[in-house]
Structure 1
Amino acid sequence: MARVNKVLIVGGGIGGLSLASGLRNRGIEVDLVEVKDEWTVYGVGIIQQCNVIRAMAQLGLVDRFLDAGFAYEGMGLYTSAGELLQMLPGARAAGPEYPANLGISRLALHKVLSSTAEEKGTRIRLGLTVEHLEQDANGVDVLFTDGTRGRYDLVVGADGLYSKVRTLLFGNELKPRYTGQSVFRHNFPRPPEIDHLVVFYGKNHNAGLCPLSKDLMYMFVTSAEPGNPRMPEDRLAELMRERLAEFGGILGRLRERITDPKQVVYKPMEVIFVPAPWYRGRVVLIGDAAHATTPHLSQGAGMAVEDAVVLSELLAEDAPVEVLLSRFMRRRYERCKFIVESSIQVGDGEMRGASQADRSAIVKKMMEVTAQPL
């Protein structure tokens, strides 16, 4: 009999909802609170590599997951003019019957995760989060922001980059850091030739196209933005076109179709990596609350889903919570550290004009590492 029978998950993003399904698969009672008053999803699309497809299979979500996105096998690396440098095949880590990679809209992914968590019996409450946590040897007493209370065997902070749970555990000294770069994103209709992830290396930018469905893809471009300036919302289309100026080929053609600033999603890149351990007593952090990274290696969400797989697997075991969380750290710390540091390395290289070969080598190493078992 597992010693953890009732869990509170704080945060209804990718990591929190994935964990809810994983725990419910094992018969563990789950409450999930989300600070937003209603489900809203920020962003356009997301790249899910072989390790995420494997993790979704382990969570029992893979069929719905694949049905909601666009499966593809590899990644093409191109010059800024659109000339092919190298094709990197993906690994079918989930098994030969599954694809190597998937592009999926953030809205479609959220619908898969939230509907599945609810169907499995997760009790979800929107519009509130935790106000105070008080632990003893046997559990955690929680005061919520609406004045209600609950008691849990474990509390999981999956509440993102600016995690309230992290602050309650570790104070205000652990704060996200702006890396010096930002990313612009925009959706487009998908032409037939964009049937894989297409990445273009410019002198100081990284841009690309990712298929999301039969009819949809998204474009991204990273750029150095010293000082983290506040971008005028009515100029986002113009500013994105400027960042794409060095690119030719399909990116150059699409660039001129970026005219509506409301269709551009702009986000500064911020990172945090919490020193080990990511827990205190019976409260633990996962996902961006513990290890937020940049999008250069497309692994931020993947690390959160992997956290959910490992933690739900361990919490089903009959062992003291301290032992289980210690084992969680041994399985997750170095892998997440590698992703965060390597992603930052790619971004720093872009800002100083690193070679295409340097960036490609990091991408290939990431693909090797993430294909390895959890």
Structure 2
Amino acid sequence: MTLPAQSILIIGGGFSGMSAAIELRKQGADVELVEMDDNWCTEGAGIHMTGPSLRALQDIGVFERFTEEGCLQDVFEMYTGDGQLLMRVPAALVPGTDIRTSGAIMRPVLSNILAEAAIAANVKVKLGTSFTSIKEHSDGVEVSFSDGTSANYDMVVGADGVYSSVRKALFPDAQEPQYTGQGVWRAVVPRFGVDGSPMFLGETGKVGFNPVSEDSMYMFYTEARPDRDRIPEDQMLPHLLKLLEPFKSELIAKVREALDENCQILYRPLDDILLPRPWYKGRVLLIGDSAHATTPHLASGAGMAIEDAVVLGQEFSKGGELTDVLDRYQNRRWERCRLVVNNSLRLGEIELDNGYPKEEHAQIMAVSAAALLAPF
């Protein structure tokens, strides 16, 4: 069968880019991936993956590695700030699989797993390089690179994140990512015997934990901040300790005692974007955060990006004209990605209104979880 595109360039070596490279190589395409980071290393503490997101990793072929190097959890627990249990929700079986769990892993570890899989799939990788121009012509796309070289491709995939340069080149008038009024803190702390994924609801924020290994777990805290500012590194530890002061649970007291400069403390303002369709122009397609960046309230941002890659590979395998393939792809992805971006944004709005526990918050969480269990 003649492929819709034989030579494919992927711009961006994050989760979506690496996953797309793996899936398109499975179809027999010649795939080149360029990544501007010389070290090809994803920064960050841990990342939580829901059952549906683990299904996508299973489709990619790296779920077993995830279970070996990450940590699985089969229950979610919600507590008040002083440690009183509000609800306990066992993980649901993901239809069509034997996955009845969620999981967490260090971001650099998952990045390394996907990078090794991409290399094993014979993806051609060029690091320390980005594009300088993209010019479509009658039978392909000419791309010029920051190292002074250029090449022609049948298809280009922009997977360069929420502040995508490919998106700006493709749709210069598109809306920029919007600050949501919240930021997220992350840190790596001792596990203290935690099983499952406990989350504590305070009056002005929430804090949660996800084990990532036998000894460690990553912590997140969602903070309301009116301005999209950056916090100096020397102020991060004292600020995070102050945020945790109102929580009186025994676990959080132990965490506060253990927090120090070695806990990989990070803070990131939360921006989102949902690019209206089309997500492609000619032979150039946007995937992952380039098209639909979400906040972490549904723990599905990375999962959506990896699902993008799986669906792109599936539609690619059906054949047809490239435009038809890209149209089928975006139409399959639109509603699912829209739900995650919009529902995550609404959850953040409720939290900004000091809305714990609110019926709408619980309903959105339940409806979203049920919808995401459906096949993608």
For Structure 1 versus Structure 2, the TM-score category normalised by the shorter chain is over 0.9
Question: 1:20 Cα deviation (Å)?
Answer: 1.0
Q: Does residue 38 in structure 1 map to residue 54 in structure 2? A: no
Distance in 1 (alpha carbons) for counterparts of 2:290 and 2:284: 12
Amino acid at match of 1:319: G
Moved more, 53-62 or 253-262: 253-262
The answer for the alignment partner of 1:202 in structure 2 is: 202
The answer for the alignment partner of 1:271 in structure 2 is: 272
The answer for the alignment partner of 1:216 in structure 2 is: 216
Distance in 2 (alpha carbons) for counterparts of 1:99 and 1:353: 32
The answer for the alignment partner of 2:370 in structure 1 is: 368
The answer for the alignment partner of 2:65 in structure 1 is: 64
Distance in 2 (alpha carbons) for counterparts of 1:105 and 1:262: 13
Query: Per the alignment, in what secondary structure is the counterpart of residue 76 of structure 2?
Result: strand
Matched-pair identity in %: 38
Question: 1:262 Cα deviation (Å)?
Answer: 6.9
Q: Does residue 281 in structure 1 map to residue 275 in structure 2? A: no
Do 1:286 and 1:304's aligned partners in 2 also have CA atoms closer than 8 Å?
yes
The answer for the alignment partner of 2:48 in structure 1 is: 47
Unaligned runs of 5+ residues in structure 2 are: none
Query: Per the alignment, in what secondary structure is the counterpart of residue 78 of structure 1?
Result: strand
Query: Per the alignment, in what secondary structure is the counterpart of residue 187 of structure 1?
Result: strand
Distance in 1 (alpha carbons) for counterparts of 2:174 and 2:99: 43
Do 1:72 and 1:99's aligned partners in 2 also have CA atoms closer than 8 Å?
no
Question: 1:254 Cα deviation (Å)?
Answer: 1.1
Q: Does residue 252 in structure 1 map to residue 268 in structure 2? A: no
The answer for the alignment partner of 1:146 in structure 2 is: 147
Distance in 2 (alpha carbons) for counterparts of 1:54 and 1:280: 30
Deviations 1:262-309 (A, max 9, x none): 731111111111111111011111111111111111111010001010
Distance in 2 (alpha carbons) for counterparts of 1:9 and 1:96: 29
Deviations 1:213-240 (A, max 9, x none): 1121011111111112221210100111
Moved more, 225-234 or 250-259: 250-259
Query: Per the alignment, in what secondary structure is the counterpart of residue 203 of structure 1?
Result: coil
Moved more, 121-130 or 73-82: 73-82
Query: Per the alignment, in what secondary structure is the counterpart of residue 269 of structure 2?
Result: strand
**Number of corresponding residues:** 373
Deviations 1:70-110 (A, max 9, x none): 01112111111111111122223265543421111101101
Amino acid at match of 1:241: L
Q: Where do 4+ consecutive residues of structure 1 move more than 4 Å?
A: none
Alignment of 1:286-305 (within 5 A): 286-305=287-306
Amino acid at match of 2:142: D
Question: 1:332 Cα deviation (Å)?
Answer: 0.5
Query: Per the alignment, in what secondary structure is the counterpart of residue 363 of structure 1?
Result: helix
Amino acid at match of 1:54: R
Amino acid at match of 2:307: E
Alignment of 1:129-168 (within 5 A): 129-168=130-169
Question: 1:316 Cα deviation (Å)?
Answer: 2.2
Distance in 1 (alpha carbons) for counterparts of 2:113 and 2:41: 14
Question: 1:359 Cα deviation (Å)?
Answer: 2.1
Question: 1:211 Cα deviation (Å)?
Answer: 0.9
Alignment of 1:343-354 (within 5 A): 343-354=344-355
Query: Per the alignment, in what secondary structure is the counterpart of residue 98 of structure 1?
Result: coil
The answer for the alignment partner of 2:182 in structure 1 is: 181
Structure-2 change in CA distance of 1:149 and 1:252 (3 Å): same
Alignment of 1:13-24 (within 5 A): 13-24=14-25
Instruction: Please report the TM-score for the alignment, with normalisation by the length of structure 2.
Output: 0.95
The answer for the alignment partner of 2:125 in structure 1 is: 124
Distance in 1 (alpha carbons) for counterparts of 2:180 and 2:325: 33
Distance in 2 (alpha carbons) for counterparts of 1:170 and 1:290: 11
The answer for the alignment partner of 1:310 in structure 2 is: 311
